[in-house]
Structure 1
Amino acid sequence: MLHSQRRQDAGEVHHDLLVPRPRRRAHEQLPVDDPAWPAGALECRSGTPHVEALMTPADTDQARPGDAERYRMLLHIGHKLAATLSEDDLYEEIYRETARALEASGFYIALHDQSRDLARVVFYADRGEVNRVDVAYRGSDSRVIRSRKAYLDNDDLRDGSLMVLGDDADVAVAAITAPMIHHGRVLGAISAQSYEPGVYTEDDLDLLQGIADIAAVAVANALQFTELERRRREAEKMEEIGRALTSELDPEMVLGKVVEAALELLDVDGASVWLTVGKDGFVCRVAESGGDIRLPKGLEWDIKGDIARTLLDERHPVVLDNVASSDVVPDHIREHLATGSAVGVPIEADGRVTGMLTAGSRQPRRFDALDTAVLQRLARQGSVALQNARLHASLHSLSITDPLTRLPNRRRLQIHLDHEVAAARRGRALAIAVFDIDNFKHYNDTFGHVQGDDILKAFADVLCHENRAMNLVARFGGDEFVSVLTDTNAEGVRAYVERVRARAVANDVLVKFGIHVSAGIAEFDPDKRATVNDLLRAADGDMYRDKAERPAVGRRAKSH
């Protein structure tokens, strides 16, 4: 177990850094028969089955290597560590090689992030029991990291800055600790510890520093290799995501894939796409959300203050280390996030911010520059894909929408009728109504095309107001309109026609020009009117009969 040891006048106080104590891996026997190890350099004690490769206080007096042996020893360690690029394997190899050369009943490796002054214990072993943990502390609190010098303490470890191995009843009392320095930068520290006092010498400290110097190069290489592998995997994933996004033409599916990618790439508990609402301020609404922290769609956030300035004006990422204590997140948003950390980046399109992409974790987490870079890249790809999908949807909508009345056009009507006729053949009721504005050409020629367009738009509004969500109203062409009524028989469509006529005679524009409409209806009949063309011809014929019987206004449309 790791401790931070501090002294008080009344005696010792040990503060556990790992609560609860992590589950330990089974004891591991460390091999001592490596043929590459310098012959005679060490005489490790045998007979202790699980830790026989660890130097003991008694062994250290008998196995002090000379300069030549020490050189060969370090050369051997250099070869061993240089061949290891996996971080986890490297940390264990550093431990194994240190334990061959020095008393290391306790041992740990800490890495230091200078930019954040954060040191993390990434590996430790206690009496041969190996653990991989992630315990963090302030790097500047460590004397070795702060001074960049190796340190020896043979008497109860009075240096309060040291992480000390042991449990509450038995704590290491002697230690040697050396910094790992690479290209002038402190990468971290290595500490070998003992449960017996007075076991280490200055030669041991020099040897550990030699090991630390070799380890620093190996750790730097391993970290670089890990980073290159991470970037390679990220690039492959980004390429895969890019292909998936650019091939997707449904805006909703694009948003879903962006969220899935954020969850995977950042390994977070939740991710959401927010899109701006309106033109004033910076009001965002959840358009898509996924993961364990799933925000309800439609949830709105009127973003103000520092967050708005960072995202909207500076267009930089926002990182919240602790959402629970943040005063910039409103309560109605925070209640869905609970505790933990969050990060957000702006989504931009055509030179303006159109939303934000956010990710969050339930547990406190420090999102770093790499995390925000990944999220920013994903936001850019998602924005382009979303614009493409929206453009495609817009073009598709234009291809099936009448530009004047904004009603579905004849092409859309045909697609819809094909679907509904197929359903009618399976037993679903179906009827249609065809409307024609009487003497429309006369009005158009008399009052002009602008007024004619107003008449068409006014009648389209009448039809829309009488239309149910499950039905369709379309402009068939010229001054003809078609209403498709599902689950409706002849009586139902007659009633619908009368409602349309009643609303038409109350419309200000239509009344102003004295507009009347003729109507015809047709009901699906598997024996007589079983195709789309059959229905349209029947309704059209009924409409012309109704028109021929005018000038009587309000005459009921006849049914076939």
Structure 2
Amino acid sequence: IGVAAFAAATRRRGERVAPASNVRADDTERFDALAEAARRMASALDQREIAGIALDHALAMTHSRHGAYIEVDELGLTAAATTGDVFSLRSLTGGLLSRVADTGQVARRVAHDEPAITSLPAALIAAPVIGGGKVIGILFLVRADSTPFSDDDEAAIARLTPIVASALAAASRHDTATTLSRTDALTGLANRRTLDEDLADVRAFASPGRCNAIAMIDVDHFKLFNDREGHAAGDEALRAVARAIASAVRPGDRVYRYGGEEFAMLLDDIDPLEAELVAERAREIVEATRVAGSEQQPGGALTVSIGVVLVNGAEPHPSMLLADRALYEAKSAGRNRVVLIDATNATH
């Protein structure tokens, strides 16, 4: 059952329960808590936020003070959310958590030794969150006074974990859709929409000698290549160019497919000379890249022209116009070169 559907169903059920019902007060309280947990998780799209909500409700439903939500993946166990000060987050493996991750079964005990807990003895319960047929998380609750967790506690957590799994799956689908909407399908680079958003967020630099750089890149004679070699070869050439450009930039710099055979780079907080060097390095790496048919291109290689504009700020429209102008000058001057326009004084 989906998170939203569960929340709606629990609201309807609550409306049908009369005050004279024979349902135990604790059961009614826990059912209401599940409904509230489902409602909160349905409105959250961040997986860490969902983990925190799940932990809050697990603690409340079992009247516990200490707990953790543990993410489980191929890299191991990671604490995504914690409450209380009894955990040794560097020692999550080798005890109850590893057993639950391996078996996919709820486990509870009063422990006198447990690597993940610093205050012992303590009562523990760990319940797996199952997604896609495997353990993706663990709700881990601790009572430092060693009061054992009951069958009712275990049943309450067992009812919560499928709701957590459903909420995490919805958040994952949202993350995937967001990533796809910001990514070029052919090259895997960020797309033009992402460039527009990133330009709006670039901050201005007032310190002398630092600036932002925007580079527009165009594959030289690409129509000639595409017509001669075919669209499949053209697509592979664009992927190769994308990899070459991405390999030339600094960590933190951003590379985009702007559209067609055009690419862009956004270089934040950079020295003007270094900006030109990054662009020149990208040009050289592309020229050295070999793809089928590139030797038939003018000059015997696949090449790019690059226009770079240096700005203190990054107002999207004028900055992109200047980068386009620099690119036009590079192509007019014979292609396979870098032209730089320093507009830092004009953008104070």
TM-score tier, shorter chain, comes to 0.7 to 0.9
Confirm or deny: 8 A CA contact 1:490 1:522 kept in the other structure: no
- Residues 469 and 238 of structure 1, relative CA distance in 2, 3 Å threshold: farther
Unaligned runs of 5+ in 2: 1-20, 296-300, 343-348
Name the CA shift for 1:351/1:558 in 2 (closer, same or farther; >3 Å).
Answer: closer
1:523 aligns with 2:310: yes
Mapped contact 1:263–1:271 kept (Cα < 8 A): yes
Within-5 A mapping of 1:117-516: 228-278=24-74, 283-296=76-89, 301=93, 307=99, 315-324=104-113, 333-334=115-116, 336=118, 338-420=120-202, 423-424=203-204, 429-509=211-291, 513=295, 514-516=301-303
Cα gap change, 1:303/1:362 in structure 2, threshold over 3 Å: closer, same or farther? closer
Q: Distance in 2 between matches of 1:511 and 1:289?
A: 57
Residues 340 and 363 in structure 1, CA contact (< 8 A), matched pair in contact too: yes
C-alpha distance 291-459 of structure 1, shift in aligned 2 (>3 A)? farther
Q: Which runs of structure 2 are paired with 1:16-35 in the superposition (5 Å)?
A: none
Q: Deviations over 1:376-434 (max 9, x none)?
A: 222111111111111111111111111121111111111110111xx228778322011
Q: Give 1 or 2 for the bigger CA radius of gyration.
A: 1
* SS of residue in 1 equivalent to 2:257: strand
User: CA–CA distance in 2 between the matches of 1:445 and 1:511?
Assistant: 11
Deviations 1:55-103 (A, max 9, x none): xxxxxxxxxxxxxxxxxxxxxxxxxxxxxxxxxxxxxxxxxxxxxxxxx
Question: How far apart are 1:517 and its partner, in Å?
Answer: 0.7
Amino acid at match of 2:60: E
Count of aligned pairs between the two proteins: 315
- Are the counterparts in 1 of residues 280 and 338 from structure 2 also a CA contact under 8 Å? yes
Secondary structure (helix, strand or coil) at the match of 1:348 reads strand
Q: 8 Å contact 1:275–1:354 — kept in the other structure?
A: yes
SS state of the match for residue 557, structure 1?
strand
1:541 corresponding residue in structure 2: 325
* RMSD of aligned Cα (Å): 3.1
Change (3 A) 1:301 1:429: same
Q: Is the 8 A contact 1:319 1:367 kept in 2?
A: yes
Name the counterpart of 1:85: none
> Do the aligned partners of residues 481 and 296 (structure 1) sit closer, same or farther apart at CA in structure 2, a change above 3 Å counting?
farther
Q: TM-score, normalised by structure 2?
A: 0.79
Whole-angstrom CA distance in 2 between matches of 1:405 and 1:550: 27
Report % sequence identity: 25
In structure 1, what residue type is equivalent to 2:240? A
Q: 1:301 to 1:510 in 2, by over 3 A?
A: farther
Aligned to 1:34: none
Return closer, same or farther for 1:369/1:353 CA change in 2, 3 Å cut-off: same
Q: Report the residue type matching 2:44 in the other structure.
A: E
Q: Which amino acid aligns with 2:188?
A: R
Cα 1:289–1:431 change in 2 (3 A) is: same
Match of 2:9 in 1: none
Pairs within 5 Å for 1:13-52: none
Q: Does the CA-based 8 Å contact 2:307-2:338 persist in structure 1?
A: no
With over 3 angstroms needed to count, the CA separation of the structure-2 counterparts of 1:519 and 1:510, relative to structure 1, is farther
Deviation string 1:92-137 (CA, Å, 9 cap, x unpaired) is xxxxxxxxxxxxxxxxxxxxxxxxxxxxxxxxxxxxxxxxxxxxxx
Once residues 516 and 306 of structure 1 are traced to their aligned partners in structure 2, the CA distance between those partners, rounded to angstroms, is 53
1:483 is paired with a residue whose SS is strand
Q: Deviations over 1:182-241 (max 9, x none)?
A: xxxxxxxxxxxxxxxxxxxxxxxxxxxxxxxxxxxxxxxxxx99x822222222222221
How many Å apart are 1:532 and its aligned residue? 0.5
Deviation at 1:456, TM superposition (A): 1.6
Structure with greater helix share of residues:
2
The CA distance in 2 between the partners of 1:350 and 1:540, in whole Å, is 47
Contact in 1 for aligned 2:121/2:144 (Cα 8 Å) = yes
Change (3 A) 1:356 1:235: same
Which runs of no fewer than 5 residues in structure 1 stay unpaired? 1-223
Contact 2:256–2:263 at 8 Å: present in 1 too? yes
Q: Measure the CA separation in 2 of the matches of 1:305 and 1:255.
A: 16
Q: Structure 1: which amino acid aligns with 2:105?
A: H
Structure 1 contact 409–476 (Cα < 8 Å) conserved = yes
Letter of the 1:533 partner, please give it. H
Alpha-carbon spacing, 1:398–1:358, altered in 2? closer, same or farther (3 Å): same
CA offset at residue 492 of structure 1?
A: 3.1
Distance in 2 separating the partners of 1:300 and 1:405: 39
CA positional deviation for 1:286:
3.3
One-letter code of the match for 1:318?
A
Q: CA deviation at 1:497?
A: 0.5
